[in-house]
Amino acid sequence: MLAQKSLGISNLSISNKSLKCPIYDPSRCSPFINVRPPIKKTCAPLRVTCSSSPAQSRVDILSESLPYLQKFRGKTIVVKYGGAAMKSESLQASVINDLVLLSCVGIRPIFVHGGGPEINLWLDKIGIKPEFLNGHRVTNATTMEVVTMVLVGKVNKHLVSLINKAGATAVGMCGMDGRLFTARPSPRAAELGFVGEVANVDPSILRPLVENNHIPVISSVATDEKGQSYNINADTVAGELAAALGAEKLILLTDVSGILEDKNDPGSLVKEINIAGVKKMVEEGKIAGGMIPKVNCCIRSLAQGVRTASIIDGRLQHSLLLEILTDEGAGTMITG
């Protein structure tokens, strides 16, 4: 403890107006990491009392999260995982740890994932060049087989293993398991091949899992009524699952900071916006390209009863905790 202890002035930073005690800065460091800030050296001994410490600051931060924990406790949150957070091992560890922490404090996360880069890697290994049309993967029968093997057999089980290792209990599945969601061909099937849409969701298999504190990990592959497999956009799957479950929140992890007022200015982040505002920004061309299907996914889920939807920056460490447990957030929150 620093209180009532005689310290040399060499351990303090002093101005001619006040004596400042070195205090842990939670905006710069994770409260879950034991960080001791550097102490600047000056000159002669002085007797002071310091009322804060790194440990006390961490406790204060946890205490301040209480209203958010109360708000979300027992509520379902659907998280779509992809982008940079999937490519970087450190970001992946951050997301997994956040997910497990949320589960431990009584929040019910459901984890939906893509895996585009991994699919490309395995296609390349067997000599198939990936093809895309307007951002959609062209998926013939051979590519569909690879997509299924990679998403359902490799990526899904790897994520389940990481969550289990971090201390929670995860259950891996895809659309076919328990008929969780059924596919139908995309209207552009003639061009795209086995790219599908969500035709129906039956979340009954998920309810006992989340009620028993398990974390469902879901890949975006499903079959139609005839048993044909389809590759479905993971954002779309997350949105439809959130709607079917009556989720409190949908979160899409992305490679951008969120919705920008000026897409060329990273500092113009829109922190909160409603559906009408989003539609206006689309009409004005401020939302364009790959952001359009993401906001459409959010709008559709909100229209079906999801309370809020957020597009957040998956490049930030602990972005899930920032979004759920702070006012600041980690991207753009869309409301109904």
- Catalytically annotated residues: 80, 83, 116, 235, 294
Q: 17 — phi, psi (to 5°)?
A: -105, -35
Tally of CB atoms within 10 A around 250: 31
CA 140 from centroid of its chain's CA atoms: 30
The closest of 234, 250, 245 to 302, measured between CA atoms, is 250
Cα separation, 12 vs 14, whole angstroms: 6
Give the C-alpha separation, 234 to 199, whole Å: 14
User: DSSP H helical segments within 105-247, as ranges?
Assistant: 116-125, 141-148, 156-165, 189-192, 207-211, 234-245
Query: Residue 195, SS3?
Result: strand
Q: How far apart are CA 31 and CA 53, in angstroms?
A: 12
Nearest CA-CA partner of 258 in 159, 328, 326, 336: 328
d(CA 211, CA 213): 6
Residues 298 and 239: beta-carbon distance below 8 Å = yes
